[in-house]
Structure 1
Amino acid sequence: MAAEYATFGLAPAMRAGGVLADGDFQVHRDFVDFIVDGRPLLFRLSDLDAVSPLASDVPPAIFTAQVRSLLLETGPPLPGGRYVIYGCPECEDLACGAVTAVILRDGEDFVWRDFAWQTGAQADLEFNGYHGIGPYRFPGAEYRTALAALLDGTAHTRRRVLLIGARVALLAKLAAALRTIGIGADITEDAAGVPADELRAYGAVAFGRAVVEETRTAARRAFADAGVHVTHVDGLAPIVPLLVAQIEHALDRGPAERRRLTRLTATGDGADVEVTSPCRVRLTTYRLDRLRRTHTHEVFDGVLGPGGHRIALDTGTVKGESYVVARTPGSVLATAVTREAPG
């Protein structure tokens, strides 16, 4: 098949980390995704939890080496002229599986072809090839300009959050959970006295529900005076996995129009979810009972197609004060369960 011309670009993306319903956790990863003809290439792989080699948390020397490899300034890392396009978000072991492709130069152009799922030294295109993806021919100047721009440090992402609240025990648990999945977290009762240089290290600030408006206003003013924009998170409830999900969403720097998970609302009998491309979606409910104990239920785990979907909820899992978290490999949303007005 001849390679047709396609546009090439890059955009920030993330692999959503989090504390899962079974007590396990996923590591948060920020990376740069490949944008082909205006759409993330990863979105063409419906049920893949993976990141590109251009991850912001790898050492600068390794990041630079990955960029230069994609520019074909160094030899291919795999036999047959193959390069890793997406790999395991938890490790770098090829045995976990990776999406690879042949990358070659044709005159001034760069061609990506023969995409495959690969778990060993050799790719089997007949059984593991992605026959509906590619080949793509990228104009050389556009391709080189996009990748070379990463070498000036623009891939850096602020992946720390400042936690403000009075419930020290809860904040300590939340900070520990965030650090476990790879997000830095610091705790304070008031951001007004934090030096401006330190404030510039944060990508989000999260407020506990008991934080008074005066403290919130002072924190917002402190960040504004430091010349840094951060996302403000108002904690829905004192439930650590729920707060982690809110903070994960706040740290998402990907363009809104290129996110897979775009909407989540919930009532007592169902949740409405909207996705932009086929992907795996998991829904978890969290409920606080009268004694403020948390009850967690995994209510859905499956692949959904593009568009809106109504997923039924068991009324027993969302009675009283309840919340829903929706996850895809690259996005997460959290919402309170609302009660429909009678009549």
Structure 2
Amino acid sequence: MLAEYATFGLAPAMRAGGVLASGAYQVHRDFVDFIVNGRPLLFQLADLDAVSPLASDIPPAIFTTHVRRLLLEADPPLLDGRYVIYGCPECEGLDCGAVTAVIERAGDDYVWRDFAWQTSDHADLELNGYRGIGPFRFQGGEYREQLGRLLTGDDPGAVRRRVLLIGARVALLAKLAAALRTIGIGAEIAADAAGVPAEELRTYGAVAFGRAVPERVRGSVHEAFERAGVDVAYVDGLAPIVPLLVAQIEYALDPGPEAQRRLARLAVTDGAVVTEVTSPCRVRLTAYRVGRLRRARVHEVFDEVLEPGEHRVPLPGGAPYVVARTSDAVLVAAAASG
């Protein structure tokens, strides 16, 4: 059976890192995702915590090898002509499982077929095949153009994964910087941006301000980045709670187009959390508040797989801040009274 033609594209994406309610850390990964017929291919599979082989933090030579494999210019890494499409964000082995597929030429075109979840040398299509996914036939010119951009330095997944932290509470900033570095995001602490060379400013993807930073300092920081020609995201810290601030920064660093994000909306209103998702996925809702003696209070509100659409979840205790998290996205919302 001849595969139907599908459009092929690439877009920046991320595996959301963060400090979880349990105290565990989840590593941040930036990667290039495959856009098939206008939607991320990852969203068309079962809800997975996975990244493509085109991750931004792997050595350039290995990145190039992965691209050339997809172009069929290098041997497949697996038996039976199979290629890794998505793998574990923590390792590169098959022990954790990976989404694989056969990639082959059909004249000038490229075909991806026989998608499967694979945990050993051979894929069992009867047991672990993805029914209803593919085969996809991509026009050769479009396919080679999109992947070829990655070999010429025009990388849609290239991101600036460093954050400048500016605030008055040095101890809190030190804890925040340590948490960010643990999950793979560079962080530096400064009083302002005065005297920082433009070359260094261009390495930052976000600036996070503490609540006590005066307007004149905020203004001078904005001016410094504008002079350097840097389009940077600005984060105003909601509360002195490290996991909450990490989530805000993760959201600011999300490189993916908003129209292609799985988490579409989050709001805290009338004693409930309202969230909207665009494809089936596991959603975790965590509530935060500052208690007595400025101690953070954390409450796991919800952790289930949601179907596409809007969902309303009761919020016990009236916590003013909520973080929604999927494997690939983070959203933060504050109650109106917060």
Corresponding letter in the other structure for 2:321: Y
Instruction: State the alpha-carbon separation in 1 of the partners of residues 269 and 289 from structure 2.
Output: 13
Instruction: State the alpha-carbon separation in 2 of the partners of residues 292 and 153 from structure 1.
Output: 47
Dislocated runs of 4+, deviation >6 Å: none
The alpha-carbon deviation at position 299 of structure 1 amounts to 1.0
Instruction: State the alpha-carbon separation in 1 of the partners of residues 154 and 251 from structure 2.
Output: 21
Matches within 5 A, 1:89-168: 89-155=89-155, 156-168=158-170
The alpha-carbon deviation at position 208 of structure 1 amounts to 0.4
Whether 2:41 is the aligned partner of 1:41: answer yes
Cα shift readout 1:187-210 (whole Å, capped 9, x = no counterpart): 001112211110000000000000
Q: How much identity, in percent, do the aligned residues show?
A: 72
Matches within 5 A, 1:53-72: 53-72=53-72
Q: Which residue of 1 aligns with 2:230?
A: 228
Instruction: State the alpha-carbon separation in 2 of the partners of residues 146 and 91 from structure 1.
Output: 26
Q: Which residue of 1 aligns with 2:324?
A: 326
Cα shift readout 1:123-176 (whole Å, capped 9, x = no counterpart): 010110001100000000100000000112233211001001111100000000
Q: Which residue of 2 aligns with 1:238?
A: 240
Corresponding letter in the other structure for 1:126: E
Instruction: State the alpha-carbon separation in 2 of the partners of residues 47 and 39 from structure 1.
Output: 14
Instruction: State the alpha-carbon separation in 2 of the partners of residues 337 and 46 from structure 1.
Output: 32
Q: Which residue of 2 aligns with 1:275?
A: 277
Instruction: State the alpha-carbon separation in 2 of the partners of residues 46 and 286 from structure 1.
Output: 30
RMSD of aligned Cα (Å) = 1.1
Instruction: State the alpha-carbon separation in 2 of the partners of residues 74 and 93 from structure 1.
Output: 19
Deviates more, 1:287-296 or 1:130-139: 287-296
Instruction: State the alpha-carbon separation in 2 of the partners of residues 339 and 197 from structure 1.
Output: 41
The alpha-carbon deviation at position 49 of structure 1 amounts to 0.5
Instruction: State the alpha-carbon separation in 1 of the partners of residues 313 and 45 from structure 2.
Output: 23
Instruction: State the alpha-carbon separation in 2 of the partners of residues 223 and 288 from structure 1.
Output: 32
Cα shift readout 1:216-247 (whole Å, capped 9, x = no counterpart): 00000000000110000000001000000000
The alpha-carbon deviation at position 267 of structure 1 amounts to 2.7
Secondary structure, counterpart of 1:248 in structure 2: helix
Q: Is 1:267–1:339's contact at 8 Å kept on the other side of the alignment? A: no
Tell me which of 305, 310, 313 is aligned to 1:311: 313
Q: Is 1:46–1:280's contact at 8 Å kept on the other side of the alignment? A: no
Q: Pick closer, same or farther for the CA change 1:299–1:215 going to 2, 3 Å.
A: same
Q: Pick closer, same or farther for the CA change 1:122–1:108 going to 2, 3 Å.
A: same
Cα shift readout 1:296-333 (whole Å, capped 9, x = no counterpart): 1111111111111101111x2x35xx210000111101
Q: Which residue of 1 aligns with 2:333?
A: 335
The alpha-carbon deviation at position 291 of structure 1 amounts to 2.1
Corresponding letter in the other structure for 2:78: L
Q: Is 1:15–1:29's contact at 8 Å kept on the other side of the alignment? A: yes
Q: Which residue of 2 aligns with 1:289?
A: 291
The alpha-carbon deviation at position 268 of structure 1 amounts to 5.1
Q: Is 1:163–1:207's contact at 8 Å kept on the other side of the alignment? A: yes
Instruction: State the alpha-carbon separation in 2 of the partners of residues 163 and 172 from structure 1.
Output: 9
Q: Which residue of 2 aligns with 1:205?
A: 207
Secondary structure, counterpart of 1:303 in structure 2: strand
Report the number of matched residues. Answer: 336
